[in-house]
Amino acid sequence: MNLRIPGPTPIPSEVAQAGAAEMINHRGPEFAELIASTTHRVKQVYQTKNDVLTLTASGTGGMEAAVACHVNPEEKVLIVTVGVFGKRFIDITRAFGGEPLELPFEFGMSADPNRIDQTLRQFPDIRTVIVTHNETSTGVTVKQLPEIAEIARQHDCLIIVDAISSLSSISVPVDQWGLDVVISGSQKGWMTAPGLAFVSCSDRSWEKQVNTTTPRFYLDLQKAKDYLEIGQTLSTPAVNLFFQLDKALDLMLDEGLDAIYERHAVLAQMTRNGVRALGLELFAEEGFESDTVTSVRIPAEVDGAELLKVAREEFGTVFAGGQGSLRGQILRIGHLGYVTESEIDQALTNLKDALQRVGYIVPTNA
Ligand SMILES: Cc1ncc(COP(=O)(O)O)c(C=O)c1O
């Protein structure tokens, strides 16, 4: 099966095998060595000297940790949304008693830094801004992130970034861009199975955490940091995922970060070209299309659910559908992590075949 969804993504066989190793004592010297080594290398991928904590949780656990540890009850938070995952922060903030103030942008569009600046001028008591860097639900990368981070700093705000589906595949230089809290997840470009979340914390983040009274326990980043210092985690970690991550990081750093970013950019361009050649329209605003996931408008005459079913059952490629209000409107093609030109080629051929099978007329030169 050609799994072309934007996570979980295929994992190399040596990574899968690494996860099948014998268990070790998670409070013993082997695990201490393992977590020190993976943390050191995850920090390289984050391009940061900040602390990076690895939590046994999916990406949403990282999002929840970020909110619970930085947002006080009744505190206003600016949440910039460009899609479904941005909106999840609103629910999390509410769940922890914070007051989310949403600055929504139309699905398919990126965020406008000027509007963020205006909003922060209008609400000078806001101290935290949350942004999704790569909105997997719409296939948009908010490329203005460095500018947004600068604006947040000018307004003395902490910036929390969901880079779950970007950071391991698209360069997110955390220190250079001055990002305070950055979240990623193992099932994306990290070539590891789902279940680990990464969260980086700047000095400003730690200062804010000390002054945040919101209740938290399992996802308390300060506790994670204290345990990391003794080579452990608060509770039993997903040891086999750490084994996988260890191997995957070897592969990533052997390939080199610049080569990884270049491969993703090339494969994304190839996907976009292929989709356009089929006479289909991209959903993301031009210039802000993601290099990890391509969103495609489903033509009005095509039944989206049937198209995905035919692609999967008859041609062996699994695409993702739209989420929330985009259900039936778009399909999404994942091209992140362990992926080469031949899988993209295959996926595009299968998309063409499936489209024809459901009655869509593909341009003759496609
Ligand atoms: C941008 C983004 N944010 C958040 C999430 C949620 O992560 P998880 O499903 O691992 O909890 C995802 C996962 O698809 C994502 O792509």
The dihedrals phi and psi of 296, each to the nearest 5 degrees, come to -130, 130
Examine the domain organization and report whether 243 and 267 are in the same domain: no
Examine the domain organization and report whether 248 and 180 are in the same domain: yes
Taking the C-alpha atoms of residue 263 and residue 267, their distance in angstroms, rounded to an integer, is 6
Examine the domain organization and report whether 224 and 324 are in the same domain: no
Taking the C-alpha atoms of residue 152 and residue 134, their distance in angstroms, rounded to an integer, is 18
Examine the domain organization and report whether 235 and 311 are in the same domain: no
Of ligand 1's atoms, which has the minimum distance to the CA of residue 194? 10
Segment 76-107, tens digit of pLDDT: 999 999 999 999 999 999 999 999 999 999 99
- Residue whose CA lies nearest to ligand 1 atom number 13: 59
Contact 34, 19 (CB under 8 A): no
Examine the domain organization and report whether 72 and 106 are in the same domain: yes
Cα–Cα separations (whole angstroms), residue 226 to 32, 68, 242, 356:
13, 17, 19, 57
The dihedrals phi and psi of 5, each to the nearest 5 degrees, come to -105, 160
Examine the domain organization and report whether 23 and 116 are in the same domain: yes
Q: Separation of 163 CA from ligand 1 center, angstroms?
A: 9
Examine the domain organization and report whether 113 and 159 are in the same domain: yes
- Would the CB of 231 count as within 6 Å of ligand 1? no
Taking the C-alpha atoms of residue 352 and residue 366, their distance in angstroms, rounded to an integer, is 9
CATH code of residue 153: 3.40.640.10
The sign one gets for the Cα dihedral 359, 360, 361, 363 is: negative
Rounded to the nearest integer, the mean pLDDT of the chain is 98
| Final residue belonging to a domain, choices 204, 222, 253 | 253
- Residue whose CA lies nearest to ligand 1 atom number 8: 59
Q: Separation of 327 CA from ligand 1 center, angstroms?
A: 17
Closest by CA to 334, choosing from 256, 287, 278, 264, is 264
Taking the C-alpha atoms of residue 152 and residue 177, their distance in angstroms, rounded to an integer, is 11
Cα–Cα separations (whole angstroms), residue 149 to 168, 169, 357:
19, 20, 47
Residue 366 has pLDDT above 80, yes or no: no
- Would the CB of 60 count as within 6 Å of ligand 1? yes
- Structural domain boundaries enclosing 109: 14-253
Q: What angle do CA 234, 235, 239 make, to 5 degrees?
A: 110
Contact 6, 334 (CB under 8 A): yes
Taking the C-alpha atoms of residue 186 and residue 264, their distance in angstroms, rounded to an integer, is 17
Q: How many helices (H) and strands (E) does the chain have?
A: 13, 13
Whether the full predicted model's pTM is greater than 0.75, yes or no, is yes
- Would the CB of 195 count as within 6 Å of ligand 1? no
Residues of the chain with pLDDT > 90, as a percent, come to 99
pLDDT band at 221 (very low <50, low <70, confident <90, very high): very high
Q: Separation of 85 CA from ligand 1 center, angstroms?
A: 7
Mutational test site, ligand 1, from 87, 141, 165, max ligand atoms within 8 Å of CB: 165
- Name the domain count of the chain: 2
| Final residue belonging to a domain, choices 210, 225, 253 | 253
Mutational test site, ligand 1, from 60, 161, 192, 199, max ligand atoms within 8 Å of CB: 60
What pLDDT score was predicted for residue 364? Answer: 81
Residue 4 located in a structural domain? no
Segment 327-350, tens digit of pLDDT: 999 999 999 999 999 999 999 999
What is the C-alpha R_g of the chain? 21
Taking the C-alpha atoms of residue 329 and residue 322, their distance in angstroms, rounded to an integer, is 6
| Final residue belonging to a domain, choices 197, 221, 253 | 253
pLDDT band at 201 (very low <50, low <70, confident <90, very high): very high
